[in-house]
Amino acid sequence: MKIAFFSTQLYDRTYFNQYNRGHELVFFEAPLNEQTVNLASGFTAICAFVNDTISEPVIRQLAAQGVQLIALRCAGYNNVDLAAARAHQIPVVRVPAYSPFAVAEHAVAMILTLNRKTHKAYNRVREGNFSLQGLTGFDLHGKTVGVIGTGQIGQVFAGIMQGFGCRVLAFDVIANKDMEAKGVEYLPLVKLLPQCDIISLHCPLNEQTKQIISTQTLSMMKDGVMLINTSRGGLIDTQAATDALKTGRLGYLGIDVYEQEEKLFFHNLQDEIIHDDVIMRLMSFPNVLVTAHQGFFTDEALTQIAQTTLQSINDFEQGKALVNRIA
């Protein structure tokens, strides 16, 4: 099968070529959108990533060009018009779980970095400054951590934080009985937010969760709270978060995702002027840590992504049931 990959980096080529068996893989650095969809002409399937735009016009054009399968090499699918895919009878598959440990551990790394300021200490020592002034952190032990979204990643994250001796509260549509048995307490959001010293987002982005962190919900939090987002940028109203940083409501902010990340993340812009004033303002705060959608980036996760995606493509080619189908 001939497959067009969009929004690719060197690591995509490395891992997919390593596990490919018999397919013709063509890698495009360009994202998939209305301007680039013609690149898919002549391909049986396309493989897309989180920041590709798979809208109704794109899907209509894919169908017209003979594309028969949309394979997402990610878990999230808020960028896909599933109704349009069904209407044009193009199955959509995803990678529902590659490595929940990768993302959960990255969230913890962001917490530790912001708290103990290891990134600042590293730069100081390299410059010969061994002062500890301004590097004071706090014990994680005994703190209250809120987990919003308790899917596989949220569950792993909660377990890690319990290992630090934290009290863990959770919010989700349905309480997980196994987590409750381990001591996690499920609460409504309005009761969870005021109690937490740290809040970490692990829910999908949909109409119910879009900007779940807003001026209203930020007003419910403790002064100085730490907020971590390794899920989807649209979960946070970025302007509201910026205002909360100015007032001290947010004491720390760690984001691995950003609402407008598609023009920034996965690109080397060090020699260019960045015109996104919002992200530049965020990065000017000393208590903000930004990583560029790095949470998934482990060998285990990349291996699982490649293997699961290619297995779905194999199953489609062989007429088998698509276990990871979402449309």
Instruction: List domains and CATH numbers for the chain.
Output: 2-98+299-317 (3.40.50.720), 100-290 (3.40.50.720)
Could you tell me how far CA 123 lies from the centroid of its own chain? 27
Q: Looking at 94, 202, 232, 249, which residue is catalytic?
A: 232
DSSP 145: E
Q: Looking at 105, 259, 261, 262, which residue is catalytic?
A: 261
pLDDT of 326: 97
pLDDT of 82: 97
The token pair at 216 is 């209203």
CB 168 within 8 A of CB 161: yes
Q: How many CB atoms lie within 10 A of CB 143?
A: 19
Find the Cα–Cα–Cα–Cα dihedral 83, 85, 86, 87, rounded to 10°: 80
The token pair at 265 is 């993340």
Q: How many CB atoms lie within 10 A of CB 30?
A: 12
**Helix 100-116 crosses helix 152-163 at what angle (to 10 degrees)?**
40
Residues 6+ apart with CB under 8 A from 108: 157, 160, 161
pLDDT of 97: 84
Tens digit of pLDDT at every position of the chain (327 positions): 999 999 999 999 999 999 999 999 999 999 999 999 999 999 999 999 999 999 999 999 999 999 999 999 999 899 999 999 999 999 999 999 889 999 999 999 999 999 999 999 999 999 999 999 999 999 999 999 999 999 999 999 999 999 999 999 999 999 999 999 999 999 999 999 999 999 999 999 999 999 999 999 999 999 999 999 999 999 999 999 999 999 999 999 999 999 999 889 998 999 999 999 999 999 999 999 999 999 999 999 999 999 999 999 999 999 999 999 999
- 56 catalytic? Reply is no
- 73 catalytic? Reply is no
- 293 catalytic? Reply is yes
Q: Looking at 73, 94, 249, 293, which residue is catalytic?
A: 293
Q: How many CB atoms lie within 10 A of CB 39?
A: 16
The token pair at 131 is 């002062």
- The pTM of the full predicted model, rounded to 2 decimals, is 0.94
